[in-house]
C-alpha cells in the first residue's frame, strides 16, 4: 500500500475540518499519514458476515439484552475509592 507521511506539520496549516477534530490544541505539530483505502474492506456489509458461525453468537444472551448496562458493568472498577470491594 502506498502512503504519504508528512511529519511536524503545524496545526494551523491543516484544513479547518481536520483542526476542528483535534480540538483546541494550539502551537502543536502533528504527523499526517495519507493512505489509499482498501476497496474490499469498504464493500463488505453485514450480509457478508452472516454466513460466519460466530456472527450474532451472543444475540440470545439475557445478560446482554441491555448492551449499555452490560458494558458499563464490565468496565466498572473492581474497588471503590475507599478500598472496599465494588459489588
pLDDT score at 43: 58
CA 20, 2, 30, 10 torsion-angle sign:
negative
Sorted by where each begins, the domain ranges of the chain are 1-36
| Residue 2 in grid coordinates | 502506498
| Residue 78 in grid coordinates | 473492581
pTM, two decimals, is 0.39
Find out whether 9 and 30 touch, Cβ atoms under 8 Å.
Answer: yes
Confidence of residue 39 (pLDDT cuts 50, 70, 90): low
Residue of 40, 31, 24 whose CA lies nearest to 8: 31
pLDDT score at 49: 75
* pLDDT of 19 higher than 70: yes
Total count of residues recorded for the chain: 87
Amino acid at each position: 500500500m502506498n502512503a504519504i507521511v508528512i511529519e511536524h506539520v503545524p496545526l494551523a496549516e491543516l484544513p479547518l475540518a481536520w483542526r476542528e477534530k483535534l480540538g483546541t490544541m494550539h502551537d502543536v505539530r502533528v504527523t499526517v499519514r495519507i493512505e489509499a483505502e482498501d476497496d474490499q474492506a469498504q464493500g463488505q456489509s453485514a450480509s457478508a458476515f452472516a454466513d460466519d458461525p460466530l456472527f450474532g453468537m451472543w444475540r440470545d444472551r439475557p445478560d446482554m439484552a441491555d448492551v449499555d448496562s452490560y458494558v458499563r458493568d464490565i468496565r466498572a472498577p473492581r474497588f471503590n475509592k475507599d478500598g472496599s470491594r465494588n459489588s
